[in-house]
Structure 1
Amino acid sequence: MTGWILPVAVFALAYVLIVHDRLPRTMIALVGAGIVAAAGVVGAHDLFYSEHTGIDWNVIFLLLGMMIIVGVLRQTGVFEFLAIWAAKRARGQPYRLMVLLCVLTAGASAMLDNVTTVLLVAPVTILVCVRLGLRPVPFLIAEVLASNIGGTATLVGDPPNIIIASRGGLSYNDFLIHLAPLVVVLLAVFLLMARVLFRKDFVADPARVAEMMELNEREAIGDPKLLVRSLIVLTAVLAGFVLHPVLHIEPSVVALLGAGLLVLVSRLPTGEYMEDVEWETLLFFAGLFIMVGALVKVGVIDTIADALSVATDGEATRAVPLLLFGSAVLSAIIDNIPFVTTMSPVVAQLVAPDGPLAGETVLWWALALGADLGGNATAIGASANVVVLGIAKRNGHPISFWEFTKYGLVVAAATVLLSLPYLWLRYLI
């Protein structure tokens, strides 16, 4: 227990500083990681080679590969095309535009994954909002919340789902059958909530709307040949993601291969596509993984997980709400990827043939819903949140921890609460 003091203190202080939003979050994460490493809490092997306590390189390189692909795509003018197309379909009406972008984001997050989706959609959102004289921040927050909701529906939609599927022996169709119906309802509820949550920002500049409606989106495409090549490579990358259960090639490897191939066929100068790499975001993730890894190493996360296991007392009716709400709360505080990595073995033990809750697969769905939806609560609860904050800051529209959380917390609470009656009615009653 005494070994807990330093890593818990460092993580708590880092979290407070990130919430306070006075210092760069990347600096806070790296300094915190440096302290636990220098103190010997985690060693070189723990940091760089352990999948339980080290940096999750799959996440880092997945992001890097997709950022490079987005950087090449930007050179084609496709984002300007999509911005004009979306604004014209919404007829310049802010709420209608938000609904359109959120539905597209949620759908794409279910088919691909939420991190890839926000990397592609966020630049479009910023462009269209600037064109219409709207503040991009509410639209970016709404989109990332929608991406986390939509990503809950499928195995590839949210990184924690991949971990859960691996531990639980669950298929792509299992997620579709058990979670997709609920996600459709949750997305509809969220869109209604967005009308109220962001109502003060639904004011566009009529003159800019008129100008936008006069534009021809096809004229925005500056390099049609590069666009065709980019879309072919992107399609191949997305197919690689979807076929992961068959090909057994990690999404990070697929993204890096796609990025390398696209760089090769585009023949663009290195600086043009590397400008879109969010190095600060990647370093922030690295630091966060190390600090959470230190908590795993000294047994803090395991103790929390074991306490949840004991508290279920072999009763599914008690285990489901405890796991659902417990996962939501903890995923809001730490990134849901390391949390699910630690918690999934506990659930596997509970539902094993000789476990206290043998055969109760509803526990996997409670874990997935709690982790995925709870990740919406704070700015660092899910990978997609961190990525969008990085893109927003880079483009001159910074989103503070509290600005995100005041919306995310309400949406997370509502969606998690709605998930409980669904789980009870479908699986327990």
Structure 2
Amino acid sequence: MTAVAIAIFVVAYTLIASERIHKTTAALAGAGVVVAIGLMTSDDVFFSRETGVDWNVIFLLLGMMIIVGVLRQTGVFEFTAVWAAKRAKGSALRVMILLTLITATASGFLDNVTTVLLVAPVTLLVCERLDVPPAPFLIAEVLASNIGGASTLIGDPPNIIIGSRAGLSFNDFVFNLTPIVLIALAVFTLLLPRLFKGAFTVDPERAAEIMLLNEREAIRDPKLLIKCAVVLAAMFAGFFGHSIFHIEPSLVALLGAGLLVLISDLPQRDYMSAVEWETLLFFAGLFVMIGALVKTGVIERIASWATDLTGGNALVATMLILAVSALLSGVIDNIPYVATMSPLVAELAGSIHNETQSQALWWALAIGADFGGNLTAVGASANVVMLGIARRSDHPISFWEFTRKGAVVTAVTVAVAAPYLWLRYFVLA
């Protein structure tokens, strides 16, 4: 059955990558096949934490999509778009740099999917004002979100898994990963002009028009904006303190969405129109197919093979974990990969007597999984969400258009991370 699970995943992934059929159709068809042939049961699909649909991801997305729908009615996205364009003096390149840095910073304090949902509408409006294609900006932002999310315990779901398994605190992540994230972001920023060459031509008249706009006039409903600000502040407190309050971020998002719907008194069409149902169904199908790989032991065998190659050498283990994690996290969702890899890394780290070097294995796993999410269009949840937003706004981004850029960024950032790990934990330790 192992070979069958691999074959189904490869066929579905090939269809997604080739775009011969819609990616949601391919994912749901693959999920249907693994269930129909008995690889996955209803318990495996709906109730298992190891192999089933990750409902925390699904409902976090749903809650944040509804909140974005409510926020859209206030005019705050138009306000932010005009503000960003004016601060950049109408330069498309400066707008991209500004928005990517905002995205990366926000992703360290919120999960990167939430950040993408909040930044994408602003980006679409800025590009409309400047009359430039939004696809390069959207791609750049989601790449930045995956880099920035690596900096903290709560920035990316794999970090939460690693922190729990290794007993690492929020401060541990900040102290060990923020430096390499800042370095990677600096390199990424320098790459932007070359990576998106030809995407920064702006009509001077358009730029001049933007400088004359008053961003405050964009706010259509100040009272609703205040309500949204209060609810979002409470939600962010819930996100930061979810480990203290023992409330999952998905529940925080749903509670916030429900409260905003209740106090906004908006018609249903205003906020439900922002829900990307196709994206949610795509995730559900993808989780089921990956669950089949987990259940049949495919991911565990690959991870075990990787750890066996280390031969007890901490440096070799660190670099191997970094490379394998970056590669596999770009092909399959990094959440189940990290969940499967964590016990193996824990066993390997326990055999290394030098505490600093044993921790390096965990940082290699986190960096590889987070940076590796940029490798392909389905490597991270934020990528899929961004592509869904682009498609619905009539600016579709193909699998290969994203992957060509993402592969370059992944290769460069992982290449930068390797000497960082070597110097910090093996040379200067």
Specify if TM > 0.5: yes
1:364 and 2:370 matched: no
User: Which residue matches 1:294?
Assistant: 292
Alignment partner, residue 317 of structure 1: 315
Give 2:26's match in structure 1, choosing from 25, 28, 31. 28
Give structure 2 stretches of 5+ with no counterpart: none
Name the residue aligned to 1:339: 337
Match of 1:110 in 2: 108
| Aligned-partner Cα distance in 1 for 2:273–2:21 | 23
| Cα drift, residue 248 of structure 1 | 1.9
* Offset of residue 199 of structure 1: 2.0
Deviations 1:309-330 (A, max 9, x none): 2112211011011000000000
Q: Structure 1 stretch 161-170 or stretch 30-39: which is displaced more?
A: 161-170
* Aligned-partner residue type, residue 111 of structure 2: D
What is the letter of the counterpart of residue 27 of structure 2? A
Contact 1:61 1:252 (8 Å CA) reproduced: yes
Amino acid at match of 1:203: T
| Conserved? CA contact 1:316–1:357, under 8 Å | no
Mapped partners of 1:357, 1:84: distance in 2: 55
- Partner residue, 1:82: 80
Write out the 4+ residue segments of structure 1 that deviate beyond 4 Å after TM superposition: none
Secondary structure at the aligned position of 2:108 is classed as helix
Please say if residues 26 and 283 of structure 1, whose CA atoms lie closer than 8 Å, have aligned partners that are also in contact.
yes
**Alignment correspondent of 2:43:** 45
Q: 2:129 aligned with 1:131, yes or no?
A: yes
Matched, 1:163 2:161: yes
Report the more deviating stretch, 415-424 or 239-248. Answer: 239-248
Deviations 1:184-234 (A, max 9, x none): 111010000011111211101222222211111101100000000001101
- Residue 13 of structure 1 aligns with which residue? 11
Q: 1:379 maps to what in 2?
A: 377
2:187 is matched with 189
Residues in 2 aligned to 1:113 and 1:44: alpha-carbon distance in whole angstroms = 29
Given that 2:82 and 2:215 are in contact with CA atoms closer than 8 Å, whether structure 1 keeps it comes out as yes
Residue in structure 1 matching 2:176, options 178, 190, 213: 178
Q: 1:351 touches 1:358 (CA, 8 Å); kept in 2?
A: no
Which amino acid letter does the alignment assign opposite residue 320 of structure 1?
T
**Quick one: which amino acid aligns to residue 5 of structure 1?**
A
Determine the C-alpha separation between the residues in 2 that align with 1:131 and 1:233: 29
Cα offset for 1:356?
5.2
CA drift at 1:423: 0.4
Q: What letter corresponds to residue 279 of structure 1 in structure 2? A: W
> Comparing 280-289 with 240-249, which one deviates more in the overlay?
240-249
**What is the distance in 2 between the residues matched to 1:398 and 1:259?**
27
Q: What is the match of residue 414 of structure 1? A: 412
Q: Secondary structure at the match of 2:198?
A: helix
Please name the residue that 2:60 is paired with: 62
Give how far 1:22 is off: 2.2
What is the one-letter code of the residue matched to 1:100?
L
Match of 1:150 in 2: 148
2:189 match: secondary structure: helix
The TM-score normalised by the length of structure 2 is 0.98
Aligned AA (1:92): G
How many Å separate the matches in 1 of 2:166 and 2:262?
39
TM-score when normalising by structure 1: 0.98
Q: Is the 8 A contact 2:314 2:352 kept in 1?
A: no
Identity of aligned residues (%): 63
Displacement, 1:239?
Answer: 1.2
- SS of the residue corresponding to residue 54 of structure 1 reads coil
